[in-house]
Amino acid sequence: MRTRIALRTEQVAPLSPAQYSLWFLDQLTGPSSEYVQPYAYRLRGPLDTSALENALNALVERHEPLRTRVDQVAGEPRQAVRRHHPRPLRRLDLSQDPARAEREAAAFALRPFDLAGEDPLRTLLIRLGPRDHLLVCSLHHICCDGLSLAVLGEDLAALYRAASHGQDVEQALPPLPVHYRDTVLARARQADCPAGRPALARWRARLEGAAPLRLPTDRARPEVRTARGDRVEVVVPADVTSAARAAAARHRVTLYMVMLSVFAMLLHRRGGGRDLCVGTPVSGRSAPEEEALIGLFTNTVVLRLDLSDDRDLAELLHQVRGRALAAYQDGHVPFEHVVDELRPPRDLSRTPVFQVMFSFQDFEEDALALDGLRCTPWEIPVGSSKFDLELELGREGDRLRGFLEYSTDLYEAGTARGMADEYLALLREALGLPGDSPGGAADPVRSSDPSPEEPTR
């Protein structure tokens, strides 16, 4: 049910549950780059640097989370929206040494934030040549999510267009109907309502008693989990993507459900067990007014999958469809509340409830489009992992492309590459396409009983 949110005027608001979780981790472990989100584009052409500076300042003025810090009021963390004072765009001229750009961009983008002492957005413009620049934006996850980056790009393009044509940037976009803090206040009131208890009870029934994932690892699990990680690229070719779409249509499921089902097959075959919990993000934007906002709306739901019987793809898809739809129905319940309800045994070596994430977007993100410029994404390696494993896929033309992110405390790069390759082979096998079958088994989900987690070498 989509409801309208009333506009409030409070300058101080509570943190959302997801924000509180990030703040708590920051307090517990100290500032780190684990939840820093880089956003970088190479800009080729006649860049109007003054217009870009004006557009970035207007962007921060428009979206309060970009100028919100975390203050403590009576010992409790609160969103504190700061008055925006236009700031000059930080610049770095590397036109004489452009080879330094990758190193400098990564160092700038991944520097930890002081959530109480600085705004959660930093920007840097690196000059590579007279008509060649690199725009680097570094954001802390506490102020944004994946859809926020799309909003950021759209608004920045509109503001730059106005500024570069000598127009008033304040008139370039319609006023926002609500602010992020209004949505947090509205949801806090809803969370206190007794009507929310049945959904929380359903989450308890789904997840109570679930065991941690026990995939074999290259290294013994450390007593305290760290954020050290890396990633390997995953490209699903056009023929496999087309076959997966056809299978989704035949079985009345989504492409997301097909890709997730085969990922579950991979985890099972790799020794992850028959009772699998996989986390997956949902947008969390439930009201029309929220679509135009930058803020942390994303919530996480957990799908508990049963692979106890030998199942073919059709059977697993039927199960995944039912459990995904049930999870979406209760997707408004903050994951942090689910954890509080379950109260899993304290284990600093793992993330609670689930240790593997699957993320998918069946649409192409619009690239940044600044008037008169050719803008291409610039990837900044994050060098961290929030989970043991995370498979993230998104549409790129007629194929899917993404990465498998892994904890380097647990896995070698070769092991991660092997898992990514096996996933692609399993896709071909499950979809009936020609290609090498991983292990040659006829049934993609049949495996021996999982052994306890231990280093494999």
Please list the residues that pair with 393 across neighbouring strands. Answer: 360, 402
Q: Which residue has the tokens 């506490």?
A: 142
pLDDT, residue 442, reads 34
Q: How far apart are CA 273 and CA 235, in angstroms?
A: 26
pLDDT digits (tens, 9 = 90+) for 397-430: 999 999 999 999 999 999 999 999 999 999 999 9
pLDDT in tens, 224-254: 999 999 999 999 999 999 999 999 999 999 9
Residue pair 162/172 in contact by the 8 Å Cβ criterion: yes
Amino acid 195: pLDDT: 60
Instruction: Tell me the C-alpha distance between 369 and 296, whole Å.
Output: 24
Sequence letter at residue 201: A
Within 63-145, residue ranges assigned H as helices are 101-109
194 has a pLDDT exceeding 50: yes
pLDDT tens-digit map of 96-129: 999 999 999 999 999 999 999 999 999 999 999 9
Q: Write out pLDDT tens, residues 295-336.
A: 999 999 999 999 987 678 999 999 999 999 999 999 999 999
Nearest to 207 by CA among 328, 302, 280, 347: 302
> Has this prediction a pTM greater than 0.85?
yes
| Helical H segments across 268-347, by residue range | 313-329, 335-342
